[in-house]
Amino acid sequence: NAGVTQTPKFQVLKTGQSMTLQCAQDMNHEYMSWYRQDPGMGLRLIHYSVGAGITDQGEVPNGYNVSRSTTEDFPLRLLSAAPSQTSVYFCASSLFDRGESPLHFGNGTRLTVT
């Protein structure tokens, strides 16, 4: 009964480094997404996917890449980390990309870029 699993929980990067945040779900959910949460700004959508092989940009996609090679996994890649990417990142999935299908969230990755 794992749900949505994110790794790592914490990460510190230097400016210019790259890394991948991992997200996996075991619920056979069609829809997966990445959000960032910043103080006073709520959650903002970075990228999302409506199925394996299909990805699209959200509200704040610059500096991030995603891929969806399997239904279960949806990694988020930071290409060249910047201090502005210091944030808490959440992966979320839902059974369908339809309004009535609730989102299931992971416990987040807290990223600090120095």
| Beta strands in 14-107, from DSSP E residues, in sequence order | 19-25, 31-38, 42-51, 54-57, 64-66, 76-78, 87-94, 104-105
CB of 16 to another protein, least distance (A): 29
Decide the pairing of beta strands 54-57 and 42-51.
Answer: antiparallel
Distance CA 70, CA 4 (A): 14
CB of 8 to another protein, least distance (A): 14
Quick one: which segment of 10-18, 61-69, 71-79, 99-107 binds another protein (CB under 8 A)?
99-107
87 binds another protein (CB under 8 A): no
> What are the structure tokens assigned to 41, written together?
């700004």
Interface mask toward another protein for 24-53; x: CB under 8 A:
-------x-x-x----xxxxxx--x-x---
Q: For another protein, which is the closer residue by CB, 14 or 99?
A: 99
2 binds another protein (CB under 8 A): no
